[in-house]
Amino acid sequence: VGSEMCKETGFDDVPFSCILTKLEKYYNVKITVSDPKLLNYDSCTGKFREQDGVEHILRTISKDHPFEFSINEEKDSIFIYEK
């Protein structure tokens, strides 16, 4: 029996700001948002696996919400800004 369990994280109608807070804790990164109005997006619903990574999750959410993001070289800081 392998010890590699696929942990899934689900969001069901959760505000974008709450998702960012969860991602910060889950992936141990600092997420900075350039403009507070970006946090006012409609709630998000989705399911992600732990191994998807924070970059994949943000890229997926950005398909429905107009934002871009950059990740620093150390992969411990993410900056979210308007498209």
pLDDT of residue 4: 44
**pLDDT above 70 as % of the chain:** 89
Q: Rounded to the nearest 10 degrees, what angle do helices 16-27 and 53-62 cross at? A: 170
Cα Rg of the chain, angstroms:
13
Whether residue 46 has pLDDT greater than 80: yes
pLDDT of residue 2: 39
Half-sphere exposure of 15 (CA within 13 A, CB side): 7
Q: Are 62 and 13 in contact (CB under 8 A)?
A: no
Q: Decide if 32 contacts 77 (C-beta within 8 A).
A: yes
CB 23 within 8 A of CB 31: yes
Task: Grade residue 7 by pLDDT with cuts at 50, 70 and 90.
Answer: low
